[in-house]
Each structure stands twice: as C-alpha cells, then as structure tokens.
C-alpha cells in the first residue's frame, strides 16, 4: 500500500460525486472520518465486509428531519437528541419507531430497531459535504488500526484511491498545536424512555471521571431524565 495524497476540497467533492470514499478532518478532540455517498465504499475503504452497518451523517437539515420522523422519541427527547449530535458531537444510537417505513438510504444505518447517527457539523467542512444530503461515515481507520488523528496518519493508512482532505485547504481553519490528543467520537444510546447508556467510550467522555460521571453530565446539560436541575 502507498500513501494517498492529501488534496484540496475541490478534488474531494469530485470523489464524493463519483461515489468514492474520502477521508475528512474534524476539529480536536475528534479524529478523522471516512465518508461516502455509498455505505459499501465506506466499508471497503476500511477493509471490512461491504454490508457492515455504518453511521448516517445527519449534517443536512432535510435528511435530519426525515430521520427524526422515524425515531421513537417524544418531542423533548428528539430536541435533546439533536443537541447531542450537533453540540456534543457524539455518535448516537437512537430507537426507530416500530412498523414505520424507512427510506432506503436509512437502512444501511439501521439494525435491530436502532439507527446509528453521526452529527458533527464543523463549519469549515460544511461546504464540502452539504451538496450530498445522504452521507455515510465511520472512523478513519482500517481494520486493526486506531482512527487517524492526523492527515499524515490517514495518508499512511488508506490506499491511493481514498483521498485525504487537507484541513489547511478549508477557509476558516486554524493550525492546531502539535500533539493535541484526539479520539473517535463517544457513542451513546438514547432510549425511548430517555435513559442513556455509554455504548463506546471516546473523545467526549474521556475527560470525565468514568462513564457514570459523563452520562450525568449529559443528563443535566441536555435536560434528560435523571439530570439535576441547574441552579
């Protein structure tokens, strides 16, 4: 395997339009992600089974509205879920309504009555992804490797046909200090009754003293059951 070139936003747009996988940056403390308009492309880029479930990137308002219509969440919980995705930038496992027909494009992110959603909306990246209302996403790693925290790590990990977007080519970005700790997003499960579980630890929860402390923080900050009222 040779290292893939780091390229600009225009060439990444071209790759996405061609249903190819691309590697995209996130701001610290998140690692890079691999994204595509086809779930198969995401999985093959990661060197895993082509039909494996992937997360849906709910970066587009029209897509988000359709997804939330399919969730088994009341209005208050749905509002909290939107904030968890966009403000907390967690990956969210959310319950699907029973017997509710799903659009074909949501099926790859659905399994056993749940859907996996990724909601980070980094402003400098939005012009690159907003022209594709449906995108699938996963951590930027190949099987057996940790997620890429830098463009150079992604270049070394992915083959040449998976372009890596140079964050310096995006207007509005600033150079981050070297050695900034990064990790994949924390994944939480939000149940129909509003209860929360930590499904997978990651960047957001690691600064808290254990999973319970982080979940308590989410309950309080986002108005979920069990949270303590703010003074």
* Contact present, 28 and 202 (Cβ < 8 Å): no
Q: In degrees rounded to 5, what are phi and psi of residue 33?
A: -130, 155
d(CA 111, CA 108): 8
d(CA 9, CA 179): 25
Q: The whole model's pTM is what?
A: 0.92
pLDDT per residue of the chain (231 residues) written in tens, 0 to 9: 444 556 788 889 999 999 999 999 998 899 999 999 999 999 999 999 999 999 999 999 999 999 999 999 999 999 999 999 999 999 999 999 999 999 999 999 999 999 999 999 899 999 999 999 999 999 999 988 999 999 899 999 999 899 999 888 888 777 666 667 899 999 999 999 999 999 999 999 999 999 999 999 999 999 998 766 544
DSSP string, the chain: -PPPPEE-HHHHHHHHHTT--EEE---TTB--EEEESSHHHHHHHTTS-TT---EEE--SHHHHHHHHHTB---HHHHHHHHHIIIII--EEEEEBPTTPPPPGGGGGGEETTEEEEE----GGGHHHHTT-S-EEEEES--TTSPPP-SHHHHHHHS-TTS-EE-GGGSTT--PPPTT---BPPPEEEE-TTS-EEEEE--TTTTTSSSHHHHHHHHHHHTT-TTPPPP-
- What integer pLDDT is reported at residue 10 of this predicted model? 87
């Amino acid at each position: 395997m040779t290292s893939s070139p780091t390229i600009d936003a225009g060439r990444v747009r071209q790759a996405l339009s061609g249903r190819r996988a691309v590697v995209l940056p996130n701001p610290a403390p998140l690692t890079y992600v691999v994204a595509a308009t086809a779930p198969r492309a995401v999985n093959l880029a990661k060197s895993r089974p082509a039909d494996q479930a992937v997360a849906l990137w709910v970066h587009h308002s029209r897509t988000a509205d359709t997804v939330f219509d399919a969730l088994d969440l009341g209005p208050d919980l749905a509002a909290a879920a939107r904030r968890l995705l966009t403000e907390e930038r967690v990956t969210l496992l959310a319950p699907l309504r029973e017997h509710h027909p799903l659009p074909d494009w949501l099926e790859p992110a659905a399994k056993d009555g749940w859907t996996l959603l990724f909601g980070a909306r980094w402003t400098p990246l939005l012009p690159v992804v907003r022209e594709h209302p449906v995108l699938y996403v996963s951590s930027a790693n190949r099987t057996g490797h940790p997620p890429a925290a830098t463009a150079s790590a992604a270049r070394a990990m992915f083959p040449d046909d998976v372009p890596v977007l140079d964050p310096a080519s995006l207007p509005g970005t600033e150079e981050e200090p070297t050695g900034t700790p990064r990790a994949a997003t924390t994944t939480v499960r939000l149940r129909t009754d509003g209860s929360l579980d930590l499904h997978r630890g990651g960047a957001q929860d690691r600064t808290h003293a254990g999973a319970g402390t982080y979940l308590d923080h989410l309950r309080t900050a986002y108005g979920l059951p069990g949270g303590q009222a703010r003074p």
